[in-house]
Structure 1
Amino acid sequence: MSLQKPTPVAVAVALLLSATALQAQQAQAPEKTLSTVIVNSSADASAQGLSQPYAGGQVARGGRAGILGTRDNMETPFSITSYTNEFIQDRQARSVGEVLLNDPSVRVARGFGNFQESYFIRGFILNSDDVAYNGLYSLLPRQYIATELFERVEVLRGASAFLTGANPGGGGVGGAINLLPKRAPNEPLNRVTVGTGSGGYGQVAADIARRFGPDGATGIRVNAAYRDGGTSVDDEKGTLGLASVGLDWRSRDVRLSGDVGYQENRLKRTRPNVTLAGADVTSVPAPPEGSTNFAQPWTFSNERDLFGTFRGEWDLSPALTAWAAYGHRSSEEANSLANLTVTNSSTGAGNQFRFDNLREDQVNTGEAGLRWKGRTGSVGHEVVAAAGRFSGKIDTSFNFNFANLLFTNLSNPSFFAAPPLAPLPPLANTGTTRLTSYALGDTLALFEDRLLLTLGARHQQVDLTSFGTRTDESRTSPAVGAVWRASRQLSLYANYMEGLTHGETVPFTFIDSTGTARSTANGGAALPPGTAKQGEIGLKYDGGDFGAGVAAFSITKPRFTIDTVSGVGAAGGKDRHQGLEATVFGAPARGVRLLGGATWLDTEQLETGLGSTQGKRVIGVPEFQASLDAEWDVPAARGLTFDARVTYTGSRFADAENTLKVPGWTRLDLGARYLMDVSGRIVTLRGRVDNVTDRNYWSSVGGFPGAGYLVVGAPRTFTLSASVDF
């Protein structure tokens, strides 16, 4: 498989042509001042449009609650945070994971064996495969999603099966992530951003938008970006190119929107994961220097994705609205990998072996529904009926070289020529996923609309095939949610939800009882689906300029085990996560903005059948984690803002028996931006330093069920950028 590298010239030409064509539609640039620019996004294919920003502009007042549509946070029996594009730009976030560094209920990890982003939400793993785009799953690039492709990041905490249906990758038990596409604002937009950072990294991006026709009924927004260069880790390099076009059209009764996007991400010598195994591993080794790279020089990971989506909404009457959506993604991957297994925790000695693979994905997904609003006497109703369908096909080709181990060291690595490997076999189908679901719900407004009671159910069918094994299960799952508006400032809520979640996929390798890496007897097999259950109660406060929330929850999810003698993976036991979350957001004082909170988690492995794991904590999940981000507008220097973020993650375990304890860590990040007027054009300069104290730490543990691999945190990292609106 050949993945062609996009050239800077091609991207630059595309940017120039787009800018020229759109600039011709505008006779002159609008007047710009140093005051904060507030852009009201046009309606997408939804009468509700985007939820309005909250005070401070970092998060929105609400977000999309699945089939219930966009809801105000105070009227939703769920916990939702929607991070705005303004906040994403100001933190110079380059991926979904970098945005979610600010979320106290989320911790970013890595997928198994590669460099895919994964997210622990309430301690449960959600892979980037399971991220939704405008309400539809698995449409965006599978391993890494650049921020230029979306407007907002919405985090819906807790089980979401009734609201969004089953996730194709089996995640979504602890929460869901939905990315909203960019739409043309009501005012013309011309923005070019250039940036650089540690390791000689450089980037250029353009964001151009216009509205046309009577009342600006038609909108187009074009985004393109190119990144190239090194990182703060020695010898790591990456190249990313992307382009996307978002279109929307609206009339009195009909709203349409569509998106087409392309992203190619090429990684070279990216530092891999670290697995601990062997009789000489009695503790977790100290992390190496943050800049140390133990990746072999021949390793790489390339991914190319093409995706598109269409959504329409039609008001059949003032009370009845119909909607439908469809999306498709085609992707290709090629990798040569060599993860590190440390076999001696005192010396850091270990080994690597070569693993090559190819992969192609084809995804088709869609949904349709009806929403009716009305009253029966004093009771208000918002009834929704929806149907969804997901179809995914995976073709792979891979080969391991266990026999040719490369002996190296965590802190003082050795490097080798690429070991010989037999030619990869032709691509063959190794997995299909077919999900079908039907949902019906009603939100009742009682007692002069102070009590909002949501009752619903979703019937789900999960049909999976993986490496010759097939599972086919169906179930109807209930959902109940209630919100009591005690006052304009205070809401109390509760919910109970169940959902059919498809079984885990057995990994291809595992570490046996002697500490040796072995192939799993039924690697790749899809285990039977199970039912996840959640109960939650919470309190929300909205003081106008400052908001807060607290939630207590209990979630259970089926799990799997691997017999370390036979090497067979099977369904068995469950994980229970109980916890308490606290969040804060908004502008508590003039020129000051706060965002963050804390999460306490009590996790247990239950019904495992093994005394060594029964009742023990779940791999990779801390008992306590917290994030707090603060901004301050300097009164004496108009346009100058400083920000600081403190992130804390408690200790975690790297094994199911809880014998390998990974220390917790605290990280300090600092940033500044300056907004100024240069010849009538708004220029924003941004700079930040992440990991200011240059701390060495294990940033994450695990990211795949049952696996406790480690990821080394990045060292002190500098980024600088300049954006010009013209």
Structure 2
Amino acid sequence: MWWNTRDQGVLLHSSYELNDNLTLFMNAGGGRSIVSRISEQTPKIINDNGDVESAITNYRFNVHRYIFETGVRSYFSTGAIDHQMTLQASYYHDRLAVAGNVGKQKVISNIYSPSEVDVTLPSSPASVPKVSSSQLTSFAVSDTMTILNGSVDIIPGIRLQRVQADNFMANGQRSANYDESAVTPMLGLVYHPLESVSLYANYIEGLSKGDIAPSFAKNASQVMRPYRSRQYEVGVKYDNAGIQSSLAFFQITKPSGAIDSTDNIFNANSEQRNRGVEVNLSAQVLDNLQISGNLSLIDAELIKSPKSDIRGNKPVGVSPLQANVGVEYDLPILHGLSLNSYVNYSAKQYVNQANTQSINPWTTVDMGASYKTRVYGAPTTFRFDVQNLFNHHYWSGVASYTTIAQGAPRTFLASVSVDF
């Protein structure tokens, strides 16, 4: 199999303080990804024994993305209330072009006992037509109001969002169009009983672009209607003496998509509710030794569906337990040199809404090193990381259209970052 990916991107951030109480900011960026590959389609599980079906595809994928964001942040007081008000506008655009020639020979294998099959490779696509484009615009205002000598923060906000999505046929004609707007509120409350402790609660609504139907669906590349989500969260944070920790309880409701086995059409006509708890901890154990950890427990449920037999089931691709533990050690022999290691775990995930198929839990280990120094006076960091150190073979996740993703093999990464 063969794969070639080219990613290019640029990001610009700028801020300017007009005075002590008024700051202008701007972010702009863009990128493109060009993918060419000859590979199996993501395997589709076809029975409870773990048999999978796929086909060899000569595939090309191009996506262009642009984003612009600007705003103003103002600090002022009204009587005994201190304000930090933010006005912000943003624009995002993407364009997706996809083409693929699928081989006629089906490849049958098994996730527990993979087999090799000789096949004839399909030819490369002659063109890569645009299949969808999306535009997301947003105007938001929020105000962090601090009262009672800094012990309480009240954060109201409101956002006007517009999501425009177009689907196109191979001849360039528009096949579907969505243009939806929504006013979504946000409200937060923070209470500081102690300088090192914060209690908080918030409610957020959001509008986002819908999923795209997979290539093997009858309605392949169709963009679903925009998704509206709602999130409630309460928690506590602690930060003192080199220890940062947090405990949060949350509930999120959002649309859920899946392939209908009767007609092979991808629809987002269900709704899922995720209730969970998340714990984070980071501690400076010694001057040169830091440990960190994260634990997430999620009770996910399909609460709405046109099919009564799946209501109450678990949504596709949601792990009920995820955790990671890491350690970072600063070597005393060379100032700026650090070693790190992380262990990552994810519990099983269901492959279908009927909850008859799932992928196994998995654990991976990452290791790396970083070196911080100055190059011509500019702060510079060199990084080298090895992900999946022991080259563990596993299925990393599940998409809503009953396909599974293979975990990345042992991967070596090197990077340099410079602050100007």
Counterparts of 1:185-224 in structure 2, within 5 Å, are none
Name the residue aligned to 1:565.
262
Question: Does residue 1:393 correspond to 2:89, yes or no?
Answer: no
Q: Identify the structure with bigger relative contact order (alpha carbons < 8 Å, sequence gap 6+).
A: 1
Matched residues in 2 for 1:612 and 1:543: separation? 50
Unaligned runs of 5+ in 1: 1-298, 510-519, 676-683
User: 2:86–2:141: 8 Å Cα contact kept in structure 1?
Assistant: yes
What displacement does 1:363 show?
2.8
Answering whether residue 73 of structure 2 is matched by residue 371 of structure 1, we say yes
- Structure 1 CA distance, aligned partners of 2:127 and 2:334? 62
After superposition, the CA RMSD in angstroms is: 3.4
**1:504 has 2:215 as partner:** no
What amino acid is the match of 1:439?
A: A
Instruction: After TM superposition, give the deviation of residue 385 of structure 1 in Å.
Output: 1.0
How many residue pairs get matched? 402
Pairwise CA distance, 1:498:
0.3
178, 181, 185: which is aligned to 1:471?
178
Paired residue for 1:701? 397
Instruction: Give, as a single letter, the amino acid of the residue that structure 2 aligns with 1:525.
Output: Q
Note the 1:273-672 alignment, pairs <5 A.
299-339=1-41, 340-341=43-44, 350-401=52-103, 403-407=104-108, 411=113, 413-421=115-123, 424-467=125-168, 468-509=175-216, 520-631=217-328, 644-668=341-365
- TM-score, scaled relative to structure 2: 0.84
C-alpha distance in structure 2 between counterparts of 1:685 and 1:373, whole Å: 38
Q: For residues 387 and 67 of structure 2, what CA distance do their matches in structure 1 show?
A: 40
Q: Check the 8 A contact 1:674/1:685 in 2, yes or no.
A: yes
Residues 459 and 476, structure 1, Cα contact 8 Å, conserved in 2 = yes
Q: TM-score, normalised by structure 1?
A: 0.50
Write the letter of the residue equivalent to 1:705: S
Which shows bigger deviation, 534-543 or 588-597? 588-597
What percent identity do the matched residue pairs reach? 23
Deviations 1:570-599 (A, max 9, x none): 331211111101111130334431111211
Residues 336 and 357 of structure 1 are in contact (CA less than 8 Å); yes or no, is this contact kept in structure 2?
yes
Q: Which amino acid is the alignment partner of residue 400 of structure 2?
A: P
Cα pair 2:362 2:396 within 8 Å, conserved: no
* Equivalent position amino acid for 2:235 in 1: G
Equivalent residues in 2 for 1:131-280 (5 A)?
none
**Superposed displacement of residue 523, structure 1:** 1.7
Counterpart AA for 1:568? I
Q: Which digits, 9 at most, give the CA deviation of each residue in 1:27-51, with x for residues without a partner?
A: xxxxxxxxxxxxxxxxxxxxxxxxx
Alpha-carbon distance, 1:539 to partner: 0.6
Query: Matched residues in 2 for 1:591 and 1:662: separation?
Result: 39
User: Secondary structure of 1:316's match?
Assistant: strand
Please tell me whether the aligned partners of residues 395 and 406 of structure 2 are also in contact (alpha carbons under 8 angstroms). yes
Structure 1 residues 429 and 649, CA gap change in structure 2 (3 angstroms): closer
Give the CA deviation at 1:322.
2.1
Cα separation, 2, equivalents of 1:643 and 1:389: 37
Q: Is the 8 A contact 2:58 2:122 kept in 1?
A: no
SS state at 1:612 partner: helix
The offset of 1:549, in angstroms, is 0.7
1:672/1:688 contact within 8 Å kept: no
CA distance in 2, matches of 1:392, 1:605: 30
Listed one character per residue, the Cα deviations across residues 616-647 of structure 1 (whole Å, up to 9, x for unaligned) are: 11222222221111245688x88897755333
Q: Give ranges in structure 2 of 5+ residues lacking alignment.
A: 169-174, 373-381
Mapped to 2, the partners of 1:396 and 1:672 lie a distance apart of 38
Q: Is the 8 A contact 1:504 1:559 kept in 2?
A: no
Contact 2:138 2:162 in 1 (8 A): yes
Q: Which amino acid letter does the alignment assign opposite residue 396 of structure 2?
A: S
Give, in whole Å, the separation in 2 of the partners of 1:327 and 1:320. 24
Q: Which amino acid aligns with 1:504?
A: D
- Structure having the higher strand fraction is 2
